[in-house]
Amino acid sequence: GQNIDQPTEMTATEGAIVQINCTYQTSGFNGLFWYQQHAGEAPTFLSYNVLDGLEEKGRFSSFLSRSKGYSYLLLKELQMKDSASYLCAALDSNYQLIWGAGTKLIIKP
């Protein structure tokens, strides 16, 4: 079956760095997305990786290893507004998005 695993909850300190991991098992693979979702709001697109390596976008970076079925989202210089759920989603061979359950990130002062 198809499956996405990511931690349920993580806690980090304002100003620090946090890495949110995601492992996936899909029927074929056409890329991996990361979305941010604040409580009570809809998800917003953060990043898309289809090739191995690190993609940097400001304070946020996303990494992919296709051979390991693994990705991570790296958040630097954490701010209180980064408190949110982070959703990992993999695109299978039919271009269907398989969603993870999300990682709730709590930022403490």
31 scored as a contact of another protein (CB under 8 A): yes
Nearest-angstrom CA–CA distance, 34 and 31: 10
Nearest-angstrom CA–CA distance, 44 and 31: 17
Instruction: Select 81 or 95, whichever has its Cβ closest to another protein.
Output: 95
Binding residue for another protein, selected from 33, 63, 72, 86, defined by CB under 8 A = 33
Closest CA to 22 of 30, 37, 34, 31: 34
Tokens describing residue 96:
């269907």
Main-chain phi, psi angles of 82, to 5 degrees: -80, -5
48 scored as a contact of another protein (CB under 8 A): yes
74 scored as a contact of another protein (CB under 8 A): no
Nearest-angstrom CA–CA distance, 21 and 68: 12
102 scored as a contact of another protein (CB under 8 A): yes
Closest distance between another protein and the C-beta of residue 19, in Å?
Answer: 20
Stretch that binds another protein, among 11-19, 60-68, 69-77, 93-101 (CB under 8 A): 93-101
Residues that bind another protein (CB under 8 A): 30-31, 33, 40-45, 48, 50, 87, 91, 95, 97, 99-102
